[in-house]
Amino acid sequence: MTSIVCKKLSKRYGKESLALDKVDLSLNMRGIFSLIGRNGAGKTTLFRVLSTTLLPTSGSATIDGVDVVKTAKEIRERIAVVPQEARPVAWMTPKETVTSYLMWRGFNYGEARRRADEALKLLGISKFSNKLNQRLSGGTKRKVLVATVIASDADIIFLDEPTTGLDPISRGELWDLLLKLKKTRFIFLTTHYLEEAEFLADKIGILENGKLLSVGTLQELRKKMGYPYSVKILGKTGKANVKRGRVVKGRDGYTQIFTTEEEARRLGGHLIKTKTRFSSNPVSLEDIFYYFVKKSVNEEERNDGPEYR
């Protein structure tokens, strides 16, 4: 189990930009924790503070009880970090990239090369081991960076948007690998791909404007949202006669109703009788994300309709 605790953690860049706003977080878990949020929400800032590469302005953060600022050295023994937009050095090969990173972690040359071979094989890129990084595709370059942390002895891995720019197949391969990896390591993953967080994460945090809006498993987030079901109707809601739930104008011409399971059933029956096209599902992470983020932004910008109770 890995515990991450943040208490009123804030980070201000300059005088005006507040990237983290008194973030309180308490995790005690295995597997993958995924932080989701829009661009500029503060994901990378929180990632960097926890991975000891950026100092917070105020508040505190600990990993397994160890302060990430005061005792960063101790934390760095246990973590491995792949920052956003990191790229392997052009004039090196994948094997040299992994080997040198492991040597920075204190492995001797022979052991580092042995581990590099294993990690590259595990990622299915051993055929590129001795090719210059500059000649690799974007997906393979990302895999090389992931190989560095896999090959390390770190039990906590920080990955900042590791699949950005990858094609769907490469992304799927990386997901499979992360699912294997999470059995033995704790992974702190930021992403703005909601399906990625939904597929991989054991717990999810939603960050918006530097504020942590909600944290939990997908089930817990559904509960926190209050409406675990979504009914989508083509057209206006009037036909649905909603008794309980929140009605939201969909982006695709649909009207979406977040509601309880019971009300979703009732609505379903009603819509069948009126021969209205609809679908009914448990709410997805995308629904949850929009629900929480829209709640946090200015009321005037909201796109949703009335709430029925």
Q: Which residues bind other proteins (CB under 8 A)?
A: 48, 51-55, 72-73, 76-77, 79-89, 91-93, 96, 99-101, 103-109, 112, 132, 148, 153, 158
Looking at the Cβ atoms of 47 and 258, the one nearer to other proteins is: 47
Q: What is the 3-state secondary structure (H, E, C) of 94-107?
A: HHHHHHHHHHHCCC
Name the minimum Å distance from CB 46 to other proteins: 14
Residue whose C-alpha is closest to residue 64's, from 111, 121, 6, 3: 3
Name the minimum Å distance from CB 149 to other proteins: 9
Name the minimum Å distance from CB 51 to other proteins: 5
Looking at the Cβ atoms of 145 and 288, the one nearer to other proteins is: 145
Owner of token pair 């109707």: 233
Name the minimum Å distance from CB 90 to other proteins: 8
Looking at the Cβ atoms of 84 and 170, the one nearer to other proteins is: 84
Looking at the Cβ atoms of 158 and 227, the one nearer to other proteins is: 158
CA–CA distance, 258 with 287 (Å, rounded to integer) = 9
To the nearest 10 degrees (0 to 180), the angle between helices 138-151 and 168-181 is: 10
> DSSP for 216-273?
E-HHHHHHHHS--EEEEEES-GGGG--SSEEEEE-TTSEEEEEE-HHHHHHHHHHHHH
Which residues on adjacent β-strands are paired with residue 44? none
Residue whose C-alpha is closest to residue 126's, from 110, 108, 113: 113
Name the minimum Å distance from CB 167 to other proteins: 22
Q: How many other β-carbons are positioned within 10 Å of the β-carbon of residue 27?
A: 18
Q: For residues 222 and 53, is the Cβ–Cβ distance under 8 A? A: no
Looking at the Cβ atoms of 6 and 240, the one nearer to other proteins is: 6
Q: What tokens appear for 172 in the block?
A: 């799927």
Looking at the Cβ atoms of 13 and 220, the one nearer to other proteins is: 13
Name the minimum Å distance from CB 88 to other proteins: 7
Name the minimum Å distance from CB 131 to other proteins: 10
Looking at the Cβ atoms of 107 and 258, the one nearer to other proteins is: 107
